[in-house]
Structure 1
C-alpha cells in the first residue's frame, strides 16, 4: 500500500496545520465505510475531513470532493453528530510509524462536563477502520465492528477497551540508524530481493519506496539481500539515511505517478525513478490533494458499483434469460421451416387414398412435386383412416405456419427487449451519481422490471444531459440514460441538429446543437468520439458511429425508452474519447 507510515506522517503534519483550533461543525456518513467531518475555525474557515475505511482506498485527508449522502443517516453518523458536534480538535497523534492516526477531541457531554473523545483512523487495507473511543479508552462504536467470530485476537465492539493492532516487529526509522537497518537486512533469513528484505525489516515504508531504495542501490537492479557488495552496502546506507532524514524532518514531496494513458497508478513521498520514461510524474500542491486526486475517481466508481449491484445482477440475469429464450425460439423456428414438407405429404396422401388401408404404417408413392417423380415414403398413423392421415398432415402444416408467424413476432420482441436491457446495463455501468442511479431505477420501475417503494419519496429534479463543447464552440449534449435519451432526441433537440449513436451497440444519444449553423468536421468527429465513449464500446479501438439529422430519427409506437429508428445516416469509425 502506497499510503505508508511515513506518508501518513506527512498527512498528519498537514492536518495539524490546516485544522489547528478547529471545531466539528457537521458530520456525514456517505457510505458504510466513510465519514466526513466538516471542520470550522476562525482563521481557516470550513474544511471537509474525510475518514475512509474502504478496503482498496483507506485514508484520511482534507477533501474538496462532495460525496452524496443517504437521505437517512446511519446510526453511527447520528451518534457522532450527537457526541462530536461542536467538539474542538486538540491533538493528532501517530504511534511510531504505524498507519494509524488518533484525532483527540475536547467536547461536552449531556451534563455539560468537558470530556475527551478520540477517533482512531486505522489504515490497514481490508482491516481498515474508524473507531470512536471515549476518554477512558473504551470503544463507543466503529465503522466496522469485529466480534469473536471474526477475530480471536482483537475485538472492536462497544464497551470493549481499545487496543492497538498487533505489532509487526519492524524497525522504526525514527529511532534506529541506517547501520542498524543494514544489519537487520543482512540478518534476514531469506536470500530475497533487496526490496522485499527492506519491506520485511523496516516499519512505515511501502513497496514502492522499498523498490526505489533497492533500484538506486543496485543502479537499476533489485540485488539479492545476501549478495550485497561493499559498494552496494555503501550506496544502500546512503539511500537509507536519505529516507530516514525525510521521515524525521517530514521533508518529503507529494508525488503522483501516472501511466502513459494519464491514469494515476501510485503515490509517494520520495522522487521515483524506477519506472524510467514509462510513466509521468506530477507534484500536487499537498499530500491531502494528492490523495484526493488519486482516490476520488476510484471511490466514486466503487461506491456506485456497490449501490448498483442489485440492478446489475437483475439486468444480467434478465439478459441471460432472454438470450436463452431467443436460442430456443430460433430452434423452434428452424423446425417450422420444414412445414412445406407436411403440406406435400398431405397432397400426396389425398391423391393416393385408394392405395392406402387403415392399419398401414407407410405409404410409398410418386412425389409429383419432384421433377423426376422420385418415390417418397410417408409415415402413417395405423390407428387413423387414410383420409384422417392426410388431414393430420394438413393440420400439422397449418399449425407450423401459424407457429412460424408467432415465433417471428416473439423473436422480434425478444431481440428488442434484449437490446433495451443491454442499453440499460450500459447506462448503469456509466452512472456516477446517486441521482443517475435513481433515474435508472425509476425507468425500470416504469417498465415493470422492479417494484417501487410504496412509501412516498421526495421527487428529485431530472438531471440535465452531459454537456461538452467542441473547439469551434458547438454545444454537444449526451444522454445519461434511456429516459434522458428520449427527452433529448424527441423533445429537446431541433430537427436540424445532428444525432449520433454507436452502430448496433448500446449507448447514449449524442446531439450537436447546430443553432442553424453547419458543424465543422472537427465538431462532428468529436461528437462521434463522445458517442463511442458513452457506449458499451468505450474500451474498444475503432468504433462505428452513425449520424444523421434529428428530422430523420423517429420512435416506433410502443417501443422501449431510448429505442429509435433512423434513416439517411452516415457512418464514422472513431476512437472513444471524452476530451
Structure 2
C-alpha cells in the first residue's frame, strides 16, 4: 500500500510519543533526497529517516544507517547549523494530508531559543523535505520549485512557506457523521470508490479495507446500503482506526515482504500476512529495507549480467573465427603434397607455365592432378612457395588450436559466472562474483576511497530433504570451492555433467533413494540445464573429487561417479524446506 495519509497518521502518533523531548545529536544526508536525524530520547538512540524519493517517499524510525558522502551537501550543513543540539518540541500531521511537521527548538548564534520546523511532504514524485524558520519562511529544501516548474506554489529559500493546495476532501479525524452522510449521498456507485474520492489521505487499498470492514463485502454498492447507518458506522470506525493493531507485512512465496499495512487487512483474507508487534516504524523499516536491498541487487545484477553477456558474445565470435581458421588450415597437407609433387617433376616443368599436370603418387592408381603455378616463378620457386604456405598453415593451426582452447575455457568460465549470477540472493554473493570477474580482467576494478570492512563470506542454499537430511547447494564458484573443500570424504557430491551448475553436498553418510533424487533435482535445477529435460547429474563420494593446482574457483575433476538423468522440477524445489540462503 502506498505511504498514504492513514499510514502517516500512525507514524505521527508513534513519533510524537517517542521523539518529543529528545535531543538531535546529529543530522546526515546519505542520499540527495534522504535526511537522517539521530535523536537521543527516553534513554534510547533513535534514527529518524525522512525520504522524498518519488518511489519511496516516507517518514519513520529506522535501524539502518547508510554511508554518508565525503562532503556533506549544503542542505545537510544548514540543518546541522539550525537543528543539531536542539530539542524536539512537537510532532504533528497537518490535517489529514500527507504532511508531517517536526518542531525543533535550538539556540541561535546569540544564545536565544529558536524553533525551526522540519516539514516532510509525502506526495509521490512531488514529495519534499523543507526546513522552515520561526518566521514561517523557507530556509532550504531538498527540491527547489520555481515558477517554471509550478505556477501554483514555489518552494525556494527565503519565500514564505505555503501548504500545498487542498483537495477539498473531508478530514477523517474531524468530519462528523452528517458530513460523511452528505459525502456518501452525493457519490453513488461503489462504496470504496466513494470513500477514496471523498475522504482525504486514503489510498485505494485503505478505502477498500474500510468498505469491507463496514459491509463485509468486497464490492459493496451504495445503492444496496442503508447510507445513514453506513455513515454512522463509518464515523465510529474512523474514531477507532488508530486502535487497530498490529501493523502487518504481506509476504511472497520467497518470504520477502511485498507490501506493508498499518493494521490487519481483513479484505485481503487468504493472502500470507506477518504481524509486526514492534510497531509501524519497524514494519515500514522491514519493508523498505527489503525493497531497497532487492532493487540494489537487481541493479548490480543487471550490470554484471550485461557485462557477462557482452564478453560471452565476444568469445563466441572469436571462437567462430578460430574454428574457421582451423578449417582453413586443413589444406596445409595439400600445400605440402603440391610442393613435393612439383619437386619430383622439375625436369618436366618450365618457368612461365600456368599449371603442372603430374601424377599424385600419394594416392592409389596415381591419378593425374593439376597444380596451379605462378608464371613469374621458376619450378623450384613454385615448390618453395607451396612449402612456405604449408609451414604458415601449420603454424596457424597450432596457434588457432591453442587460442581455441583458451577461448573455450574463457567461455565456460563466463557461462559459469552467468549461471551463478542467476542464483544470487544476497549482496555479498554479487560481490564475490564481481571480485572474481575483476581478478580475471573482465570487470574493471574500482578503487574506493572509503576503507571497506572485510566482508563476511556468503552462505550456500541450505535445504532439508523429506527425511530431514541436510543438503547444501553452492550459489557461485567461490561457494562451490568452499562447500566441496569443507565436506567430509564420505559425503555425496553432485554436479550437472558437462555444464555450469552448483556443487551439491548431501550431509549424511547414509542416504535414502528419495533424498538422492531430491538432491539430484536441486543439482539439475541450479544448473544451466534448468529448462532442459533429462539433465545428466553425476554423483560420487567427496573423496573422489579433486581440485587441480592453479585451477579456477569451482573447477574440479572427479572419478568413480554414477549418473542420474533428471528433468528439473521447480515445484519440488519450492516444496522442500529452505533452512537458509
2:294 aligns to what? 301
- The answer to whether 1:204 aligns with 2:201 is yes
Q: Which residue is equivalent to 2:181?
A: 179
In the alignment, which of 45, 49, 64 is matched to residue 66 of structure 1? 64
Contact 1:31 1:69 in 2 (8 A): no
Aligned pair in 2 of structure 1 residues 48, 503: CA closer, same or farther (>3 Å)?
farther
Measured at CA, do residues 504 and 386 of structure 1 come closer, stay the same or move farther in structure 2, by a change above 3 Å?
A: same
State whether residues 212 and 267 of structure 2, in contact with CA within 8 Å, keep that contact through their aligned partners in structure 1: yes
Find the counterpart in structure 2 of residue 230 from structure 1.
223
Residues 282 and 161 (structure 1 numbering): CA distance in 2 closer, same or farther, change over 3 Å?
A: same
Aligned residues of 1:420 and 1:563 also touching (Cα < 8 A): no
1:336 paired residue number: 329
In the aligned structure 2, how far is the partner of 1:241 from the partner of 1:544? 68
Residue 85 of structure 2 is matched in structure 1 by 86
Q: Secondary structure at the match of 1:203?
A: coil
Q: Does 1:283 align with 2:275?
A: yes
1:532 offset after TM fit, Å? Answer: 7.8
Corresponding position of 2:17: 17
Structure 1 residue corresponding to 2:459, chosen from 456, 466, 469: 466
Whether 2:398 is the aligned partner of 1:405: answer: yes
Structure 1 residue 243: Cα displacement: 5.4
Counterpart for residue 108 of structure 1: 107
The 5-angstrom pairing of residues 60-459 of structure 1 reads 60-63=59-62, 65-70=63-68, 72=70, 74-75=72-73, 80-81=79-80, 83-144=82-143, 158-159=157-158, 161-174=160-173, 175=175, 177-186=179-188, 199=196, 202-211=199-208, 230-231=223-224, 234=225, 245-251=236-242, 252-253=244-245, 254-259=247-252, 262-269=255-262, 272=265, 277=270, 279-285=271-277, 286-306=279-299, 314-337=307-330, 339-343=332-336, 346=339, 358-359=351-352, 379-423=372-416, 430=424, 432-433=426-427, 443-449=436-442, 458=451
CA deviations over 1:41-63 (Å, ceiling 9, x no partner): 236x3333333334433322233
Closer/same/farther in 2, CA of residues 88 and 451 from structure 1, 3 Å limit: same
Distance in 2 between the 1:504 and 1:21 partners? Answer: 66
CA contact (8 A) 1:213 1:240 kept: no
Whole-angstrom distance in 2 between the partners of 1:539 and 1:50:
44
Q: What's the CA shift for 1:395?
A: 3.4
- 2: CA distance between counterparts of 1:524 and 1:414? 35
Give the drift of 1:26.
4.4
Indicate how the Cα distance of structure 1 residues 459 and 146 shifts in structure 2: closer, same or farther if over 3 A, else same: same
**The residue matched to 1:106 in structure 2 has which SS?**
strand
SS of the residue corresponding to residue 2 of structure 2 reads coil
SS at match of 1:181: helix
Give the Cα–Cα distance (whole angstroms) in 2 for the partners of residues 351 and 420 of structure 1: 51
Does the 8 Å contact 1:25/1:85 carry over to 2? yes
Deviations 1:466-490 (A, max 9, x none): 2777769988877776556656655
Q: CA deviation at 1:300?
A: 1.4
1:400-431 per-residue CA deviation (whole Å, 9 max, x = no partner) reads 33323322322332333344445556666737
Counterparts in 2 of 1:513-524, with a 5 A limit? 518=509, 520=511
Structure 2, unmatched stretches of 5+, are none
Q: Do the aligned partners of residues 413 and 357 (structure 1) sit closer, same or farther apart at CA in structure 2, a change above 3 Å counting?
A: same
What secondary structure does 2:206 align onto? helix
Q: Once superposed, what is the RMSD of the aligned Cα atoms?
A: 4.9
- CA distance 1:380–1:221, shift in 2 (3 Å): farther
**Equivalent residue, structure 2, for 1:5:** 5
CA–CA separation in structure 2 for the residues paired with 1:565 and 1:100? 63
Q: Secondary structure at the match of 1:329?
A: helix
Residues 87 and 108 in structure 1, CA contact (< 8 A), matched pair in contact too: yes
Question: More displaced, 90-99 or 251-260?
Answer: 251-260
Larger Rg: 2
Distance 1:114 1:511, change over 3 A: farther
- Kindly state the Cα deviation for residue 310 of structure 1 after the two structures are TM-superposed: 6.2
Q: CA deviation at 1:345?
A: 5.0
State which drifts further: 519-528 or 411-420.
Answer: 519-528
How many Å apart are 1:220 and its aligned residue?
A: 6.9
What is the DSSP-based 3-state SS (H/G/I as helix, E as strand, rest coil) of the residue aligned with 1:464?
coil
**Contact 1:445–1:452 at 8 Å: present in 2 too?**
yes
SS at match of 1:324: helix
What is the distance in 1 between the residues matched to 2:237 and 2:71? 41
Q: Closer, same or farther in 2 for the Cα pair 1:496/1:382, shift >3 Å?
A: farther
Q: Could you state the TM-score of these two structures normalised by the residue count of structure 2?
A: 0.74
Unaligned runs of 5+ in 1: 187-191
In the alignment, the residues of structure 2 paired with residue 94 and residue 376 of structure 1 have an alpha-carbon distance, to the nearest angstrom, of 99
Q: After alignment, is 480-489 or 125-134 more displaced?
A: 480-489
Which stretch of structure 1 is more off in the superposition, 404-413 or 238-247?
Answer: 238-247
Structure 2 counterpart SS, 1:46: strand
- Kept in 1, the 8 Å contact 2:184–2:194? The answer is no
